[in-house]
Amino acid sequence: MLSKMPTFRGETTLATIQKTDQITHRIHELLLRVVDLHYEFKNGFVPSERENSGIQLKALSETIKKDLSEGRDSAAELNVTDIAEAYTTAGYNRDEALVKAKEDLAGLAGRLRTIEEKVGKMVAEVVYSV
């Protein structure tokens, strides 16, 4: 029974990493669309195109906010020790693995915050310029 526990934890960690990766990929795709809409809004010549881009951008910002929240929740499920164990398996010593795992999780949280701030600024620009 005890030999099954690490495998289960490893499988759970892998599933959580895959889920987090899917969410961050979805956020990346949405972010590309947000940037395109922001560009269309700022550089549109026809007022109706600008208005349409602004409306789409506002709606897309709500979707990306939900995905960012889901991404933060998924990242919070990741256990730094389990991530460090993966690095240990890859050849890092325990101390290096723990430092790398902490850096990776902090980096993910930081990237999600940065995306949220950037999207918020783009939406604010649209809201206050219409």
Of 16, 127, 119, 31, the residue nearest 70 (C-alpha): 16
Q: Count up the domains in the chain and report the number.
A: 1
Q: Give the torsion sign (CA, 8, 13, 14, 18).
A: positive
* Domain of residue 20, CATH code: 1.20.58
pLDDT tens digits along 72-95: 999 999 999 999 998 999 999 999
Integer-rounded Cα Rg, in Å, for the chain is 19
Q: What is the pLDDT of residue 64?
A: 93
Q: What is the pLDDT of residue 44?
A: 84
**What percent of the chain clears pLDDT 90, i.e. is strictly above it?**
67
Q: The whole model's pTM is what?
A: 0.80
Q: What is the pLDDT of residue 3?
A: 47
Domain that holds residue 76: 4-129
